[in-house]
Amino acid sequence: MSKVKSTMINDTILHKGMRKRLVEEIASKGISDPQVLKAIGKIPRHLFMESSFVKFAYQDKAFPIGAGQTISQPYTVAFQTQLLQVKQHSKILEIGTGSGYQAAVLIEMGAQVYTIERQRELFLKTQQFLPQLGYHPRFFFGDGYKGLPTYGPFDGIVITAGAPFIPEDLKMQLKIGGRMVIPVGQGDHQIMTLIERKAENSFEETTFGNFAFVPLLKGTN
């Protein structure tokens, strides 16, 4: 069942038609998880964007959201989410709340979402906005490199910014059998990396090609 409160949002037949075409586009690019596609098809992405970009909301592109951050390309959100293999009641940690769109996708899929944001402006804005759409992750203001050790371990961890290295603190917050999806690298492009925790001190890494993210910064702002 969709979490979106239809009574308070401007979500028209036109918007729904554009979302349907977006879902078809990302499916043609290789996204096959039906639950991911269903979530992308339900969430009114245009409400997550600044008014000047609303008409572009259902293009498969990233757009600025303020504080030097972006709302990720829908294909990228779908790709990372598909790698997580989200199940009902999966406990997911998101590093980089941003606009809240990724968190909304995860919640639509039935996940219990813990999300951390280092930019106070975005943290306050999204903390107020997401519940208006019926999405209620647990919000935290803090340094994403440190994660949330007191709330772990997690079934999945998704990092929505490019990290120059894989933070050891985050790896250790995965459950055994858990999966972390993180873009790794410096510069304009990063390599999407899946880390699976096989045992207490055993991790397996798989890479999936180049993506472009804003950098994952330390501390808070």
Give the tens place of pLDDT for each residue, 85-111: 999 999 999 999 999 999 999 999 999
Report how far residue 185's alpha carbon sits from residue 159's, in angstroms, rounded to the nearest whole number.
Answer: 13
Q: Is 10 helix (H, G, I), strand (E, B) or coil?
A: coil
E strands, the chain, are 63-66, 69-71, 91-95, 112-117, 138-141, 154-159, 174-184, 190-199, 202-211
Report how far residue 54's alpha carbon sits from residue 45's, in angstroms, rounded to the nearest whole number.
Answer: 9
Give residue-wise pLDDT tens across range 161-180.
999 999 999 999 999 999 99
Residue ranges of domains in the chain, CATH in brackets? 10-211 (3.40.50.150)
Helix ranges, the chain (H): 13-28, 34-42, 74-84, 101-108, 120-132, 168-171
pTM of the model: 0.92
Give residue-wise pLDDT tens across range 179-220.
999 999 988 899 999 999 999 999 999 999 999 888 898 988
Known catalytic residues are 72
Q: Is 129 helix (H, G, I), strand (E, B) or coil?
A: helix
First to last CA, the chain: 36
